[in-house]
Structure 1
């Protein structure tokens, strides 16, 4: 993984089969998007070395939140690919964006934001180590690779924080 891989898409390909369709029998079931997304995340984590880096620091990961916006159906027997990229990280979590794209017209059929929470390790340190150990950049230049939070991501994180606060203290909200 070179220093630009934080923003480069990793591509995972698929095809909508009869086992993937909804009860209308003509397009991918909404739950299948999440299932396929899990395969794409595993592929991303392995190909970039992210999972190995987390484990080498004694950490683990757990999915903290996911939101998906469906834009157009993926029809039966249609090919698609999923792009995955890290769009932001903080001390505790890594945020990724995934896009389900049809190759015939490069249309984004669905876009997904995911928060992966790291346990027993620091996400800032993991990403810095990943950049330093897999490229020729030093620690200081690796730290400058951190992208700015987009407005969409900032609002999504805020929404999740409000929900968590409510669940911890439902009488306060």
Structure 2
């Protein structure tokens, strides 16, 4: 007990050390050094944690970190699930409505549907090989248009299936359909059409390379034909509004 009292006195007034025997003096100095080292260590850890927290806040405030993490996870997960040999086969991703999906009406936010469709397409194109085939041909795919129809809201905690399939293609783009199907009663809560443009290539070449044979395009449904014509009409109207001539089409 007397030793610790002396250690405290020494920390407060190091000059008191000279009044103690040499052995006690050395022990007290050693304890003081250890206390100081522990204090420095605590300060270093606190500073490091502060930098980590500050960096995380800056990162999450500047980027949609969860989007990139989720997309990466979907690709890795789909890779280990194994390939789907039929490139036109429908694929299913399972989901559920969580708290971060809700809006003020306490059902799934409209924007979340499009986000979930993004993740489902990552999984779809990974498992059927479209990503690798496009990369092998030095091509890339970008979203050119989407139209979604909401038929019934998905409530908090409700489980659903997101079904994705290629419904057609032309010389420039793939056309995909994605459906949100409630697991409660099988009702199609929302359906989205997506035009996925192919850059530096064309869909037919990608499919032929992937399947090692000629792949015939399915018959284009009436509603899809209307949607394609709508996109074309909108594009022409915007070009005319911008003063662009037909050569830039």
TM-score (norm 2): 0.62
Deviations 1:83-139 (A, max 9, x none): 00000011110000000011221110000000000000111111222222xxxxxx3
Matches within 5 A, 1:79-118: 79-118=159-198
User: Which residue of 1 is the match for residue 116 of structure 2?
Assistant: 36
Q: Quick one: higher RCO (CA 8 Å, sep 6+), 1 or 2? A: 1
**The structure with more radius of gyration:** 2
Which of 100, 104, 114 aligns to 1:23? It is: 104
Offset, 1:16:
0.3
Count of residues paired in the alignment: 160
Offset from partner CA, 1:31-52 (integer Å, 9 cap, x none): 0000111000100010111111
User: Structure 1: how far apart are the matches of 2:201 and 2:237?
Assistant: 26
Out of 152-161 and 101-110, give the one that drifted further.
101-110
Q: Does 1:64 align with 2:147?
A: no
Shift of 1:167: 0.8
For the 8 Å contact 2:85–2:128, the answer to whether it is kept is: no
Return closer, same or farther for 1:131/1:18 CA change in 2, 3 Å cut-off.
Answer: same
Greater helix proportion: 2
- Distance, in Å, in 1 between the alignment partners of 2:242 and 2:130 is 39
Distance 1:150 1:33 in 2: 23
Q: Cα distance, 1:24 vs. partner? A: 1.7
Alpha-carbon shift at residue 170 of structure 1 (Å): 2.0
| SS of corresponding position for 1:23 | coil
Structure 1's unaligned 5+ residue stretches are 133-138
Is the strand fraction higher in 1 or 2?
A: 1
- Name the CA distance, whole Å, in 1 between partners of 2:164 and 2:211: 17
Structure 1 counterpart of 2:85: 2
Q: CA deviation at 1:171?
A: 7.8
Whether 1:54 aligns to 2:125 is: no
Counterpart of 1:170 in 2: which secondary structure? helix
Gaps of 5+ in 2: 1-83, 244-249
